[in-house]
Amino acid sequence: MPLKTLKYTLSLVKPEFATSQKGKRLIKMGAYTFRLQGVTHDRARWCCSTHNSKGCNAAVHTINDQLVHIKNVHNH
C-alpha cells in the first residue's frame, strides 16, 4: 500500500481547530483530522483521528496551539 505524504512548512500551516460530535477538540489539516492523544507540560501530541488504531503514525505536536512538529505521513 503506498504511503501518502504531505509536506508543509510550519510557518505557512495554520491548524484549524474544530470540535468533534462528542465535544472533543480536533485539528483539521487538509483531508485529515487529528485528535488529542496526550499533553506533557505544555506540549500536546495529536494523532490521526481515523486510523491511529490501525497503525497510522501521523501526528502533530503543538505548544500553546502553535504547530511545532508535523508528521503527516498516513498509511491510508
Q: Was domain 4-74 assigned CATH 2.20.25.240?
A: yes
Any idea how long the chain is?
A: 76
Distance (Å, whole) CA 37 – CA 34:
9
Residues forming beta bridges with residue 48, ordered by sequence position: 34
Beta strands 43-48; 59-63: pairing state:
antiparallel
Per-residue pLDDT reduced to its tens digit, 28-43: 988 889 999 999 999 9
Global pTM value: 0.76
Delimit the domains of the chain by residue range.
Answer: 4-74
Per-residue pLDDT reduced to its tens digit, 13-71: 667 999 999 999 999 988 889 999 999 999 999 999 988 778 898 999 999 988 888 88
Q: All 3 cell numbers of residue 54? A: 490501525
Beta strands 66-71; 16-19: pairing state:
unpaired
